[in-house]
Amino acid sequence: MTPERRPMLAANWKMHKSVPESLAFVRAWSRRVADGAALPPRDRVELVLCPTLPALWPVAGPLDAMGVGVGAQNIDLGAEGAVTGGVSGPLLAEALATHVIVGHSERRRLFGETDAVVGAKAAAVLSAGLTPIVCVGESSDERRAGQTREVVARQLTAVLDAVAGGGERVVVAYEPLWAIGTGQGAAPADASEVAGWCRGLAAAAWGSAASGLRILYGGSVTRDNILGFWHADEIDGALVGGASLEMESWLAMVHAVAPAPSA
């Protein structure tokens, strides 16, 4: 982490929590903040919560009042038209989304999203004026075969090419597949090394714009291990799945990353 890149803590709720449950969580969080729970200043740490799509609009207002962004977990290409089931960037922006997760490994695996599609989706997020959080990462087989850099380079290059020039607003999340939901997070030093490699690729593609590229780590981040990633040199924050679903666990992470008031 470096001071010129504002760190991000993002919650990925995946297909969890109904609309009432999502709203109840956000209202309870807001009450806790009103009662004095730590909330990092917006200019020091960017907080983002990515609920299910039906909950996005209902929670956007209360989150915005706390200075917290709200993210969708997918986007479809195009602006409008005959795309049954599609949700475009302009629709997400109107629903008050501020961020969109793109290319999560679950979408690559379950919905066949290719590197080219992920690149196009990242560009679509930028065109809608939103911030893409683009996920990259290798499988356990690829890791065993020593292909981590090759796989991540392939996934990232498709995005770098598609969004050329949008560097300041792109966020990358390095999420090794073997670490997602397994309780076996990467070693922070290893994740930091991959993040540094990603930044090098971005610098080769974009030049100096790459210095603003934020690279998060995701995969079994918890209240117990978050600071190891948070303080790793090349890592600019965390994308958290399971550990973001429960209030005390989420608050503990928000509290852990909030800079001391006097700092």
Could you give the residue numbers annotated as active site? Answer: 104, 175
Q: Which of 51, 219, 228, 237 binds ligand PGA (CB under 6 A)?
A: 219
CB of 28 to ligand PGA, least distance (A): 21
CB of 185 to ligand PGA, least distance (A): 8
- Contact range with ligand PGA by CB under 6 A, out of 62-70, 108-116, 117-125, 217-225: 217-225
Indicate whether 51 belongs to the interface with ligand PGA (CB under 6 A). Answer: no
C-alpha to C-alpha distance for 233 and 100, rounded to whole angstroms = 25
- Cβ proximity to ligand PGA: between 12 and 74 the closer is 12
Q: Which amino acid is at 167?
A: G
CB 80 within 8 A of CB 90: yes
Tokens at 162, concatenated: 């598609």
CB 86 within 8 A of CB 98: no
Q: Which of 125, 186, 239, 257 binds ligand PGA (CB under 6 A)?
A: 239
Site for ligand PGA in 153-182 (CB under 6 A): 175, 180-181
Indicate whether 232 belongs to the interface with ligand PGA (CB under 6 A). Answer: no
CB 73 within 8 A of CB 12: yes
CB of 179 to ligand PGA, least distance (A): 6
CB 118 within 8 A of CB 89: no
User: CB under 8 Å to 155, separation ≥6 — which residues?
Assistant: 103, 115, 118, 136, 137
Centre a 10 Å sphere on the Cβ of residue 246 and count the other Cβ atoms it contains.
Answer: 12
Q: Which of 167, 202, 241, 257 binds ligand PGA (CB under 6 A)?
A: 241
- Contact range with ligand PGA by CB under 6 A, out of 76-84, 126-134, 234-242, 248-256: 234-242
Indicate whether 237 belongs to the interface with ligand PGA (CB under 6 A). Answer: no
C-alpha to C-alpha distance for 100 and 90, rounded to whole angstroms = 12
Binding residues (CB under 6 A) for ligand PGA: these are: 12, 175, 180-181, 218-221, 239-243
